Amino acid sequence: EDKVVQSPLSLVVHEGDTVTLNCSYEVTNFRSLLWYKQEKKAPTFLFMLTSSGIEKKSGRLSSILDKKELFSILNITATQTGDSAIYLCAVEVWGSQGNLIFGKGTKLSVKP
Amino acid sequence: NAGVTQTPKFQVLKTGQSMTLQCAQDMNHNSMYWYRQDPGMGLRLIYYSASEGTTDKGEVPNGYNVSRLNKREFSLRLESAAPSQTSVYFCASRRDNGNTIYFGEGSWLTVV
């Protein structure tokens, strides 16, 4: 059975800290891995990763994929209170017609 | 920019009542999805539609039916609501070979 596991499930840090969120997966016919940020409502897209070792970066957020070890990390540097959210990892497999398998998410709380 | 629009945003139902969640997208996407999100469970796929006129079951289809009325609209029906269907429901869409899924704002459903 395909599965995506995120850790930790929740995390509390202070502003300015750097955090690393983890996502491991066991799927057949991996196509891509996606990261989403969910605040109060709909998840919003952060990154899509398809190739190992290539870092995707957007401001203070960055992510990398290791297809050999079957995991990805999402780094957030110099955290701000606005980074507080649930971060979702999802995997797409070939032949799934675009369906995503989601992990349970990591709830990040950034304290002032 | 409307994107994915779903209604209603909030609904309280009594056990056994029926209702339909409506979803429409204005991005001319072929693929549409219905997910539910429960605390600690992440997002789970209920049904999806790869194109107008086709629908397929996802991970948790029991108790639900769907209709892909046209390319824009994809509705989710609860024929006889149960308390276990209390959840947040997200509609989403994606263009063929697109990088990401676009989510609606969510519908909070409580069954008492």
A88, closest residue in chain B (CA to CA)? B42
Residue B60 has pLDDT above 70, yes or no: yes
CA distance B89 to B106: 5
Residues of B in contact with A99 (CB under 8 A): 33, 45, 48, 58
Q: Which of B54, B59, B93, B101 to mutate to test the interface with A (most CBs of A within 10 A)?
A: B101
Determine whether the interchain pair B42/A97 forms a contact, defined as Cβ–Cβ distance below 8 Å: no
Position with higher pLDDT, A95 vs B60: B60
Min CA distance, B46 vs chain A (Å)? 11
Determine whether the interchain pair B105/A41 forms a contact, defined as Cβ–Cβ distance below 8 Å: yes
CA distance B25 to B71: 8
A99 near B CB under 8 A? yes
| pLDDT tens for each residue of A57-112 | 999 999 999 989 999 999 999 999 999 999 999 999 887 777 889 999 999 999 99
| pLDDT tens for each residue of A60-75 | 999 999 989 999 999 9
Buried b or exposed e, range A59-74, using 16+ CB within 10 angstroms: eebebbbeeeeebbbb
CA distance B83 to A56: 42
Determine whether the interchain pair B90/A42 forms a contact, defined as Cβ–Cβ distance below 8 Å: yes
> Is residue B62 exposed (0-12), middle (13-18) or buried (19+ Cβ within 10 Å)?
exposed
| pLDDT tens for each residue of B70-110 | 999 999 999 999 999 999 999 999 987 776 789 999 999 99
Residues of B in contact with A103 (CB under 8 A): 42
